[in-house]
Structure 1
């Protein structure tokens, strides 16, 4: 009763002298639910099924923050909107901006006065009316006031004012507390963290804007499968019809799963992908790479530290040790000394594993 019911059914599996050949008739295979399928076409010269995540290249992602303490007056775009470079994203009311503008006008006045004083004292010095030390002191004051003016201009540039706006301020002497945040690139608004009426301190992130073409992939690959990889190799995401090139191969292993991080740039078909999306990538390898097969996880049997598959033979099944290069949710990429024309068991593998281990019959 405890012999896996094989004895009662007359379905005794016998092993060969090396415990690798399992003798099993067609009726016994059917009763045990063993199903075979042709070995999928080998994938020579490529690594398939590599887990990857779509990311935005660092130089294509911008965060727009509040340059000064302010209150949000109006937001002009939402998440998912396409924006152009220089397009307003939001308007703010900032008393600190008016204060910075007032400081610029003061510095501008002082710089103009020091310029006139320098011109006058230079002539007086040349005429011998004043000493050289007084002329040098006037020169120093002129440099200081111009440095202060340049500092004030830079502060306003960081606040979002253009050089044209600063020049207009100097000519018109009209202060404004309204601050307009603009997009630095042509792109898509990915994040928006504020709404009208909020009061904010300086350097609070409000928007994230990114250019989504091209996109990048971060690929986790086992160390054993990276030996034949080279920067510039072709990378594809077959499920989304996207293609690109391998741009970097990591030098260190991740602590958790002992994989190496690969980076790729997707130029073709990037619009079919989304940042943060998890996909499976295929990477071309050099011509000396081992042959690979992408088989169902149900075809794998683990016995101790070994991974086996079962190949159909005229008498039954033969166990074959394989190396798993990548194990996915449904399929795994393996390499082994296979011809490629074999039929392997894809269902009922547990019964074959039990027989191989000497369980279920005598």
Structure 2
């Protein structure tokens, strides 16, 4: 007897749940009665919905850019005259390749100061050697030896400082050592590439007089390379499920590495960054591209409808389903969209027909029945 009561109770609960779901759906849906002649007069056309696969696509524009950590600005190490520029834009260079030559009076002054410091250091070392010998013979006091040692240490520090300044001026260790031995100064300075890459731009011309740290060229390493994607803010919800990013016109695939947290107030879009390894593909910084984001499914049923079938009203996305007395406006969740198709989630069925033309008439009817608009 008790078992029969539980069975009856389960049936009642099931019927109640179905009734509540039906009431909730009816509360969300909006009925739009239309006669057949009115539908034809408004030019309303319908197409069947299709069950979508487990993934979908989002087509967005993007701009190719160089990752900031792969950019290097090569500047003039000292003030001087640009005598030659040895590279051109789009030219590949290796680390250590000569880029430009400068004539610099500052370099001559830095070399003179270095040679003076080298002479002072040599004199201090000789004085230290002599005082150490005199101290061993007990001719001088220990205090004098300590002073001489301090003077020699200071001279060595000054020589090291002058050598580092020459290195900052662009002289190699070999050139600095040659200067110390031969004591032959030169005004010519060769600027070399700090890394391998491609010359993106030249910022100086032959004959320019430049200050120290003035930019000469920009070098970039172009593998990997980034594409800044402009994503409409309404389509940003599913970006974390992006499986891969494709540049169809260039034939390369990459991955999404960053999703922006701020929106552009003018375009109401966010910037997402995709990374690609271009290989032999001609991807160029500054190039405008079209990217396809392959997005994995959310786990629920996805429906594929023509993009024109989805309308936006009162902060919701809607489709209009054909009904016996006209149409029924149904709120849906827009998962992704391409220029041709949209993937949505909602209470749809395979046999449903959605309106694809004459949307203004249906949208006006939906607005007229919206209680919040009154």
TM-score per shorter chain, which class?
0.7 to 0.9
Matching residue of 2:100: 90
Matching residue of 1:241: 251
Report how many residues are paired: 338
Q: Is 1:80 aligned with 2:90?
A: yes
Q: How far did residue 289 of structure 1 move?
A: 7.6
Distance 1:220 1:67 in 2: 39
Matching residue of 2:219: 209
Distance 1:77 1:355 in 2: 67
Mark the runs of 5 or more structure 2 residues left unpaired by the alignment.
Answer: 1-25, 370-374
Change (3 A) 1:105 1:294: farther
Q: TM-score, with normalisation over the residues of structure 1?
A: 0.77
Structure 2 contact 58–337 (Cα < 8 Å) conserved:
no
Matching residue of 2:164: 154
Correspondence 1:167-182 to 2 at 5 A? 167-182=177-192
Aligned counterpart for 1:135 among listed residues 142, 145, 158? 145
| Dislocated runs of 4+, deviation >6 Å | 257-260
Correspondence 1:1-362 to 2 at 5 A? 19-21=30-32, 23=34, 25=36, 32-36=42-46, 42=52, 44-45=54-55, 48-49=58-59, 52-219=62-229, 222=233, 225-226=236-237, 229=240, 234-239=243-248, 240-248=250-258, 252-254=261-263, 256=265, 262-267=272-277, 271-276=281-286, 277=288, 279-282=290-293, 284-285=295-296, 288=299, 291=302, 296=307, 298-312=308-322, 317-324=327-334, 330=339, 335-337=344-346, 338=348, 344-358=354-368
Distance 1:29 1:35 in 2: 8
Q: TM-score, with normalisation over the residues of structure 2?
A: 0.75
Q: How far did residue 103 of structure 1 move?
A: 1.2
Mark the runs of 5 or more structure 1 residues left unpaired by the alignment.
Answer: 1-15
Distance 1:281 1:139 in 2: 71
Q: How far did residue 258 of structure 1 move?
A: 7.4
Matching residue of 2:14: none
Change (3 A) 1:308 1:169: same
RMSD: 3.7
